[in-house]
Chains A and B, each alone.
Chain A
């Protein structure tokens, strides 16, 4: 009983196993319109403004080929002495092809001791992930990583 919803190549049918969701609503995931590189640029500009973005200092640790796009472990670290005069104020992570360009913003300071944040993110498609660090001297530094995301082979139907 396979429902054909859309004819785009990237469409896939994904029905969640019922009972774990409240009310056991069967969910069909049809991939929505993807964000564009222009949205990514706009989201970055929102944070950075017109300031130049330097490459370097930031290390974005993310597997180049993810096992499952639902949960991708990611670590962003920035080389910084983390003193009162020279530290990382915030780290912003963006992506290229999810429906939304933002992933997360992390606000730290000299009290952090180390500018490193790890979390798990969702990636809808193979795309570029960009991390931008805002330093105490007002400068912005970035790093990016290309990630390949494959879709799960088997589908699951709600009972």
Chain B
């Protein structure tokens, strides 16, 4: 069952700000509705969402019943290195769902743009006099 629809650009240049969209299938039952008999329909929502980029958490969200059914999220992150985005939704009644998407991040080709000490681009290495700042996140 396709429970999630993820949109991550397949390719990006290092340093680009990219938009990530995550849509997942969930009823997000508020816990405030009642059946015809008058009984309260128990709450059943996704309570949190997290996105990890090569293992590092880059976005987290707490959801409340006011988030609409089939929750949609769009957020941004800086493309640093090629790898994987991992998405996780956790909710009531033990709900847990994951999804992932890969990204290829290319060197922007600008001197010192990525500040990567291990950059293997010959032009960058030649200019590297050891004064580069380390990669900061």
Give me the interface of A with B, judged by CB distance under 8 Å.
3, 15, 21, 25-30, 32, 70-72, 75, 84, 95, 98-100, 102-123, 158
Contacts and interface: CB of A to CB of B under 8 A. Distances in A.
Nearest to A75: B74
Contact of A29 (B34, B65, B77): B34
A108 B57 CA distance: 9
28 contacts: A25-B41, A27-B34, A75-B74, A95-B66, A99-B32, A100-B65, A102-B66, A104-B62, A104-B67, A105-B62, A106-B61, A107-B59, A108-B59, A108-B75, A111-B58, A111-B78, A112-B17, A112-B58, A112-B77, A113-B76, A113-B77, A114-B76, A117-B75, A120-B71, A120-B72, A121-B67, A122-B30, A122-B67
Which range holds the interface residue count of chain B? 35 or more
B17 A113 contact: yes
B36 A70 contact: no
Given A28-B36, A105-B62, A116 B67 contact: no
Contacts of A118: 72-75
A52 to B, nearest CB: 24
